[in-house]
A and B are shown apart, each in its own frame.
Chain A
Amino acid sequence: MSNEIEPLKDPGLPAHTPRRADIDPLAAKKAERQVAILFLLSAAGTILLIASYLFIPQDVFIFFPVLGSTNAHQLFLGLGLAASLFFIGMGAIHWAKTLMPDEEVVIQRHEFRSPDEDRAEFVKSAKEGAAAAGLGRRSLIKRTLGLSLGLVGLSPLILLGDLGPLPDEKQKMTSWKKGTRLVTDPGDRPIRPEDLEVGAVAQTLPAVAPGTHRKLSDIAKDAVLLIRLRPEEFNLDAERLSWTHEGIIAFSKICSHMGCAVALYEQQTKHLLCPCHQSTFDVTRAAKVIFGPAARPLPQLAITVDSEGYLVAQNPFNEPVGPSFWGRSA
């Protein structure tokens, strides 16, 4: 295999050089003492741990450079534990290094391959076993066994069926309906257009009946961001413009990429940034993606005001909010 002409000679394992502790009893004694000191340090660590647990109250803070004003209970408990463990290790290793034999030992490896006769015998008995079972001859058994084993594999899948409901049309819908008021999150107060100055934002949710508890899975689809611009700053088609109200535009806050809450609104550039993957959306162009991995604009919620002058949804979202999924039509 190899093309070697004449390699250098292996000089063989170097002779063992004795350590100081091997030849000098004083050095050995010293090493023994060092090991003992390390074990004692460990014992001291445990005592520190016990003392901290029992005697340091949880509300004491001490200032240390780098750490800052830090909780003494937690710190000394941890340092005690760390010392008690670390120094046992140091002691054991130092002991092994200085006082236990350090002459290297050579043992031989053996080939893993079994001797040919063993292999032949194995093949023979395997074949005999197979023949005795007669699987090769009895093809009916072979096939039905295959079928039943294949089907049995399905049963765990079937039994897991109740892990969750099947996705349905609700997956594509939110709680927003025609006329649902936008209320502040948190606070649940309805909002009038005049409540928002130009450059203002508001985090909103759909109004619910008083006392109703919102489910997180609803919030995960319903969260909406309101932004007020000067109307002339919009660069929208007539339909999308009609979805805004006096310069107020509403977007789903759930990122069209992977569902994080997109609410980093830069008032000067009118950009919305998602902190998870940095998709950037241009608010003036109906949240068109201008940077990052998101492939779709944020869904826009058509808004208007109701008879009392509060902001409401004109219509439900006209597309599913949040990240893409297979059954989501473009």
Chain B
Amino acid sequence: MEDNLKRLSRFRRHRAVAPVLLVLALLSIGTTFSVAGAATSGPITAAERSALIEEGKQIFLKGCSSCHGLNAEGAAIAPSLIGVGAASVDFQVATGRMPMADMSQQAMRKAPLYNEREVEALAAYVASLAPGPEIPGEELLNYERDGSVAEGGELFRTNCAMCHNYAGQGGALTRGKYAPTVMGVTPRHIYEAMITGPQSMPVFSDKTITPEEKLSIIKWIKAAEAEPQLGGAALGRVGPVTEGLLAWTLGLGLLVGVAVWLAMKAR
């Protein structure tokens, strides 16, 4: 029994788990890249910084100002960006939400329009307008070291599951808005979402959910993402709706199929 427990608890490290390892590896590569990307904004000179800001301003004027105003002061269709901080820009632009494809209820995650350098410049520009939440650095985002997965689950269920569903698959909000899935989101962007409260999402301040707790949440999300199917096809991890559908279609379908064959006269 004891042995069993040990084996189970390390299931993600087992040799036979090649596909899972692959996913994990890809994830960690992605994480490293994004963290590395953010890290470049660290020790730079003042001159480099103002050049970056200037570059960001140019991108802003071209790509963002038509909605957010020439000085990011906001307009009828888009909010002011003064004081939203670099983290907000990084989240919105690097996940492809901004610029918006159309004026729908909600900006969707899609392939980003700007490359990392451009996002960094935009973030620097918006951050230069007024202080706001900063992009979390690599050192801060070491969730594997600083987070606790069980505590993260508890926090997730109290603070996140009501919108994003128990397994982070997302869920419906009012009038066509929705909470997106948190699967496949980089730790940096999850963190930024929590501190900036993008779109419908509220802000989770560092005093009510500490940075370590945020890392725990990220760790739990990553564990949920990597969790293989313990009981077979996951059916979308959305609860009893898909289960009922499968029972009626596949379950009853198979049984009725056999019943029809049973009652058919043999030739």
Contact = CB atoms under 8 A, between A and B. Distances in A.
Interface of A: 19-21, 57-63, 66-72, 74-75, 78, 89-90, 93, 97-98, 102, 184-187, 189, 191-192, 195-203, 227, 261, 263-269, 271, 273, 275, 278, 280, 291
A200 B266 contact: no
A162 to B, nearest CB: 35
B28 interface: no
Contacts, number: 149
15 contacts: A58-B7, A60-B14, A61-B229, A67-B232, A69-B229, A70-B232, A186-B154, A196-B205, A197-B197, A197-B205, A200-B202, A200-B203, A202-B205, A203-B158, A267-B200
How many interface residues does chain B have, given as a range?
Answer: 35 or more
A185 to B, nearest CB: 6
A195 B233 contact: no
B19 interface: yes
Q: By DSSP majority rule, is chain A's interface helix, strand, loop, or mixed?
A: mixed
A216 to B, nearest CB: 14
B104 interface: no
Contacts of B203: 196-201, 267
Given A70-B229, A195-B205, A59 B10 contact: yes
Interface in B196-242: 197, 199-210, 213, 228-234
B167 to A, nearest CB: 13
A185 B174 CA distance: 25
B210 to A, nearest CB: 8
Contact of B228 (A19, A61, A102, A269): A61
Contacts of B155: 186
B11 interface: yes
Contacts of A269: 174-175, 177, 200
Instruction: Point out which of B17, B171, B266 has the most chain A C-beta atoms below 10 A from its C-beta.
Output: B266
B10 A202 contact: no
A196 B162 contact: no
A82 to B, nearest CB: 11
Contact of B158 (A67, A69, A185, A268): A185
Contacts of A74: 230-232
Please name the 3 residue pairs, one residue from A and one from B, whose CB atoms are nearest each other, closest first.
Answer: A195-B207, A59-B11, A200-B203
Contacts of B171: 275
Interface in B144-171: 151, 154-155, 158-159, 162-163, 171
Contact of B199 (A21, A57, A90, A268): A268
A266 B229 contact: no
A191 B208 contact: yes
Given A195-B208, A199-B202, A267-B197, 16 more contacts: A59-B8, A60-B17, A69-B228, A70-B229, A70-B233, A89-B258, A97-B264, A97-B265, A98-B266, A102-B266, A186-B155, A195-B207, A196-B205, A200-B205, A203-B158, A264-B173
B267 interface: yes
A81 to B, nearest CB: 13
B201 A273 contact: no
B207 to A, nearest CB: 3
Contacts of B7: 57-59
A267 B229 contact: no
A71 B7 CA distance: 13
Nearest to A59: B11
Given A59-B11, A267-B197, A275-B162, A70 B4 contact: no
A227 B202 contact: yes
A266 B14 contact: no
Contacts of A69: 17, 19-20, 228-229
B251 to A, nearest CB: 12
